[in-house]
A = this chain, B = another copy of it.
Amino acid sequence: MRITLIGAGNVGVHLGKRLYKKKVKIHQVFSRTLENAKYLGDQINAAYTNQLEEIDGLADIYILAIKDDLIGRVGEQLAKNKTVQKKLVVHTSGAVESTVLAPYFKHYGVFYPLQTFSKNKKVAFKNIPICVDAEKRKDKKRLLFLANQISKKVYTISDQERAILHVAAVFVNNFTNHLFYIASDICTKEQIDFNILQPLIQETVLKIQDQAPLEMQTGPARRGDKATIKKHLLFLRQYPEYAILYSGLSESIQNLYITVQNRAQRSENR
């Protein structure tokens, strides 16, 4: 199985290196920036180019690891090569339907590694869930085969399920990271060492590996401790944007546990 990799950003680089390490042959690498294409190509023993027209039809699967809004356009471009047009072409996006490639290719699908990549940080790829899908059963089988070579966690996930997973991923990754930013910003401005909070952060996340978040919630909103919430909001008056988020999240937590409690009482009364 020969792979051509379109894109040498975070996903492209990590995916390319992992495939190479697992002895999957990378045929060509493309990046609009020649430097990036060369950097990756040299590392994974692949030809490289910054010209889409130079992508040839000699690979079996073409992986588009590019920005969401470029997938359609790049697909269209690639399909101008009549040999590529007949090949299996997939994208790596969590948010884009697989069908965005349908107008250009008979064999299309998705190869979505559900992880956040940073260019210079290694990740244990074997634990990264890879969500694959393809319209044709045979294509799906090929993607599953490829995914299983680089990860122990391979899932067949439909477009609809992937869209939902992507929303959930935004909550647990992007929004969580933003909360960390807010805490670090407050600490910096108030001249407190943010690292004091590191053990708490690590523990919060260790817990979730074996406990349900519903049961492990603590804090003023969970307790319905209005005095502390009020005190916190008073302090946050100097950070009005954070105050809004504090209120919204605290309300959501309070509502949740009121609902949980009412439900428990109703079932007791039965």
CA distance A163 to B227 in the complex (A): 13
Decide yes or no whether A228 CB sits under 8 A from chain B: yes
Count of chain copies: 2
Sample (24) of A-B pairs whose CB atoms are under 8 Å apart: A114-B200, A115-B200, A116-B216, A116-B218, A118-B216, A161-B192, A164-B187, A164-B192, A165-B192, A166-B232, A167-B236, A167-B246, A168-B194, A170-B221, A172-B200, A174-B220, A176-B176, A176-B180, A176-B204, A177-B213, A180-B213, A201-B208, A241-B252, A245-B248
CB-CB < 8 A to A163: which residues of B?
231, 235
Q: Please tell me if the beta carbons of A175 and B205 are within 8 angstroms of each other in the complex.
A: no
CB-CB < 8 A to A176: which residues of B?
176, 179-180, 201, 204-205
Task: Select from chain B the residue with minimum beta-carbon distance to A218.
Answer: B116
Within the complex, the shortest CB–CB distance from A83 to chain B, in Å, comes to: 32
Partner of A252, one of B118, B183, B221, B245: B245
